[in-house]
């Protein structure tokens, strides 16, 4: 506590400030013009600790980059006596007393300057010395606290070096607002990266949002600013007040904040990370041994703000705890393995669905506290459901309280708009070539896996990261050093991200939302790939929906829309997504996309989901699909749960229950998902009848899947089979309990020794209208 760490002076000499108007939050208008410190030389001589008049003036003029040099306790010699000088600072204080540990009486500090600087020399005192300060104010109130300027830095030289190198993978344990006990004193260590700032102060509830009270210590060339503030509690609101080189003040939320006030407030909040007691140890232990490529994966994609609301209470959101106890049983009903959440990181605008993040380290306060969100994940895990987070490292919004122009410079973003701005989205692009920015994102990814036990990260808008010319016209982008359009810095970042996630947290996974032909997205980095575990198959999704939206009479001309995906099926590890993006912006609901009358629409939808579940690849459905929501998704209201009571919608529910159960039970559908051995065409050439058939192969048997994409039932249709004998009909999308017509095969068919479709055996099959039937053969 006694020895002060040397601090490197910022490049620019401090000057008298011109305060800019504050936007959020408005600090108190108490920033008086300081009285010139005429007695500085006398004080320096009397207390003998080498502080210059310029240093005092910097403090008084709010440009001080090293307040610990003046304030706190220092060795000094005065009038031939050795001892300790203690200076205290509060611009509104009229008197200050000091209470020294093991001393009975308080002593009053001398007022060294009218603007709130006080000091005292204590002869013969030695370190360590423990004390508190009591400030008295003109209104008669007082405030007692330990001295923030009596503590060593709470970040080490190693922390600073790792951060600068971009390798501080757990930077969230040091930056931001850390609740710690420092030398027996409870409080919060604040740390922020702002290398171009002239001065940074922490402002909050504890100092009446007054940036003069708690200037932070510059940690030199690292660009870090640090201050331990005693007595700050969980739930306290705060921000950073940053004085820029052009002498304007910026009021910034903490990039590493663990919690935020509910919008429209933009205050960061101190959060206690050690409250929740996890009960998912067994699940987490199994997680380390998972092999997702050869496991079933059926994902239920959810927007928490619109899944379900409470109309009896002003249409309020469910909180994280309420969501857990309702959402988990619902997901289990349909045999989903994972719940994927649209971004839950803090964001100010509901209409962004969470994709314009301002608080990367904070679960949104809309639904509760970070502790409540931990309960949500814990509850999912205790019931065998994994949790995937939608993560957004591709861009961030221009809100002035957040990352944009953080310290008065383009710190997190590129200064050049050709690299630093998404004009389509009105957002900014991270500077992936800057070590500290990469560190911010890498640490953030690990933070969710570490603190919240998240199973996997779905990385949004990867395509926009990979290409410098993404959604740009000629002249609006700059080629890379090789003259190409690849964003080499972003590619290097994504590879590092995946390497770090898989190395630090075995059993966790990453999923790329990537829609281009970029090769090796889900291949290991050691093989030249990006290293993602999975990639969304956007091509399959687009082609499949394009086919199903056609009137059945025209489908015979477009069968290639369905077969093309199998040409590239095994180039990546695919997830088949029918996501939120397919039911917004005028695209209509999944049900509304289907052609025909009501019966045909529901039959087509059952056929579509059957086709997806039987096709190689992991599955993803957006909420509302399970009961065939009739209207397009609206982020601002609940799903239309009342529709589930309608018989046809109820049929979709039962259909998806059956598909989920069969998918989980039958290894043929997933054990060889990413190996060609797991799929074999029987026939896709009957264009006129629009019938297709294929085999899903497993180690203990196989399943013959037959699809009829027209409303004409095909009775006694011969289909080739890999084996002869009895085949069990395990699924029929036309079952009456699903709302179908009941055309089927009475539970089984017999394959005869009649070659057909290139197979040695075949069977006569009744194929229902707009229907799918699955036949299982065990033992082969």
> Cα–Cα distances in Å, from 360 out to 3, 309, 393, 642?
36, 25, 9, 35
Burial of 627 (0-12, 13-18, 19+ CB in 10 A): buried
d(CA 347, CA 591): 31
- Are 217 and 68 within 8 A, CB to CB? yes
Catalytic residue among 97, 159, 407, 460: 460
d(CA 369, CA 112): 44
215 DSSP 8-state letter = B
- Are 252 and 401 within 8 A, CB to CB? yes
Q: How many CA atoms lie within 13 A of 330 on its CB side?
A: 20
d(CA 367, CA 319): 4
Burial of 199 (0-12, 13-18, 19+ CB in 10 A): buried
Helix (H) or strand (E) segment spanning residue 591: helix 590-593
> Cα–Cα distances in Å, from 384 out to 158, 227, 289, 377, 434?
40, 43, 15, 11, 39
The number of residues making up the chain comes to 780
Nearest to 91 by CA among 67, 132, 61: 61
Q: How many degrees, rounded to 5, is the angle at CA 424 between CA 420 and CA 426?
A: 60
The beta strands (E) that lie in 590-724 are given as 618-622, 679-686, 691-697, 701-708, 714-721
633 DSSP 8-state letter = P
Strand-pairing partners, residue 118, are 88, 111
- Are 152 and 3 within 8 A, CB to CB? yes
CB atoms within 10 A of CB 483: 6
Catalytic residue among 92, 254, 513, 668: 513
Whether 54 is catalytic is no
CB atoms within 10 A of CB 519: 11
Whether 504 is catalytic is no
> Cα–Cα distances in Å, from 429 out to 194, 347, 393?
18, 16, 9
CB atoms within 10 A of CB 197: 29
230 DSSP 8-state letter = E
Sheet containing 224-230: order of strands: 176-182, 185-193, 224-230, 217-218
Answer left, alpha or beta for residue 431, where phi above 0 means left and psi between -120 and 50 means alpha.
beta
R_g over Cα of the chain: 32
Nearest to 300 by CA among 660, 629, 584: 660
* Residues recognised as catalytic: 460, 513
């Amino acid at each position: 506590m006694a020895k002060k760490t040397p601090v490197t002076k910022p490049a620019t000499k401090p000057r008298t400030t011109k305060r800019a108007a504050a936007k959020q939050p408005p600090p108190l208008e108490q920033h008086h013009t300081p009285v010139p410190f005429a007695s500085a030389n006398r004080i320096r001589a009397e207390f003998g600790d080498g502080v210059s008049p310029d240093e005092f003036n910097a403090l008084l003029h709010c440009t001080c980059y090293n307040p610990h040099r003046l304030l706190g306790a220092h060795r000094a010699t005065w009038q031939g006596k050795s001892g300790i000088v203690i200076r205290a600072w509060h611009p509104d204080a009229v008197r200050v007393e000091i209470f020294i540990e093991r001393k009975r009486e308080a002593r009053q500090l001398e007022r060294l300057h009218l603007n709130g600087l006080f000091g005292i020399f204590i002869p013969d005192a030695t370190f360590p010395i423990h004390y508190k300060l009591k400030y008295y104010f003109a209104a008669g109130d007082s405030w007692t606290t330990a001295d923030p300027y009596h503590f060593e830095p709470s970040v080490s030289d190693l922390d600073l070096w790792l951060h600068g190198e971009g390798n501080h993978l757990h930077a969230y344990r040091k930056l931001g607002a850390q609740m710690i006990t420092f030398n027996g004193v409870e409080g919060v260590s604040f740390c922020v990266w702002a290398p171009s700032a002239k001065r940074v102060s922490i402002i909050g509830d504890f100092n009446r949002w007054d940036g003069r009270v708690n200037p932070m210590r510059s940690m030199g060339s690292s660009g870090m600013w640090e201050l331990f503030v005693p007595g700050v509690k969980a739930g306290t609101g705060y921000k950073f007040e940053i004085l820029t080189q052009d002498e304007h003040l910026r009021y910034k939320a903490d990039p590493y904040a663990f919690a935020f006030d509910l919008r429209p407030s933009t205050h960061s909040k101190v959060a206690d990370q050690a409250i929740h007691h996890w009960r998912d140890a067994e699940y987490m232990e199994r997680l380390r041994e998972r092999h997702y490529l050869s496991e079933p994966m059926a994902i239920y994609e959810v927007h928490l703000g619109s899944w379900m609301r409470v109309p009896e209470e002003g249409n309020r959101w469910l909180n994280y705890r309420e969501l857990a106890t309702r959402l988990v049983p619902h997901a289990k009903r349909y045999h989903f393995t994972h719940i994927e959440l649209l971004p839950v990181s803090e964001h100010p605008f509901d209409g962004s669905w969470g994709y314009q993040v301002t608080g990367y380290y904070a679960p949104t306060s809309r639904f509760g506290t970070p502790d409540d969100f931990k309960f949500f994940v814990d509850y999912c895990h205790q019931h065998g459901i994994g949790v995937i987070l939608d993560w957004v490292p591709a861009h961030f919004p221009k809100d002035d309280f957040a990352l944009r122009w953080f310290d008065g410079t383009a710190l997190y973003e590129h200064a050049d708009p050709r690299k630093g701005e998404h004009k389509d989205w009105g957002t900014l692009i991270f500077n992936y070539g800057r070590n500290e920015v990469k560190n911010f994102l890498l640490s953030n990814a690990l933070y969710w896996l570490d603190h919240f036990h998240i199973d996997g990260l779905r990385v949004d808008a990867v395509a926009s990261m990979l290409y410098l010319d993404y959604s740009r016209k000629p002249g609006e982008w700059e080629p890379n050093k090789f003259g190409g359009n690849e964003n080499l810095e972003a590619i290097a970042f994504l590879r590092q991200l995946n390497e770090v996630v898989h190395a630090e947290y075995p059993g966790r996974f990453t999923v790329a939302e990537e829609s281009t032909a970029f090769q090796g997205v889900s291949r290991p980095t050691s093989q030249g790939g990006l290293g993602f575990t999975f990639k969304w198959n956007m091509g399959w999704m687009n082609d499949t929906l394009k086919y199903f939206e056609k009137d059945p009479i025209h489908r015979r001309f477009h069968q290639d829309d369905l077969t093309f995906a199998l040409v590239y099926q095994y180039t990546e590890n695919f997830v088949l997504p029918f996501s939120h993006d397919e039911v917004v912006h005028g695209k209509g609901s999944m049900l509304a996309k289907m052609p025909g009358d009501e019966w045909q629409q529901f039959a087509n939808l059952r056929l579509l989901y059957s086709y997806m579940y039987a096709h190689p690849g992991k599955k993803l459905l957006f909420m509302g699909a399970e009961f065939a929501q009739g209207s397009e998704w609206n982020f601002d209201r609940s799903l239309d749960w009342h529709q589930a009571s309608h018989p046809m919608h109820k049929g979709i529910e039962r259909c998806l229950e059956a598909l989920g159960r069969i998918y989980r039970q039958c290894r043929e559908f997933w054990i060889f998902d990413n190996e060609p051995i797991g799929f074999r065409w029987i026939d896709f050439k009957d264009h006129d009848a629009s019938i297709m058939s294929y085999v899903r192969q497993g180690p203990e048997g196989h399943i013959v899947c037959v699809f009829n994409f027209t409303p004409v039932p095909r009775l006694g249709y011969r289909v080739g089979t890999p084996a002869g004998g009895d085949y069990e009909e395990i699924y029929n999308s036309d079952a009456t309990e699903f709302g179908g017509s009941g055309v089927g095969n009475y539970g089984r068919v017999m394959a005869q020794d009649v070659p057909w479709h290139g197979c040695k055996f075949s069977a006569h099959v009744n194929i229902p209208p707009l229907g799918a039937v699955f036949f299982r053969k065990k033992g082969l």
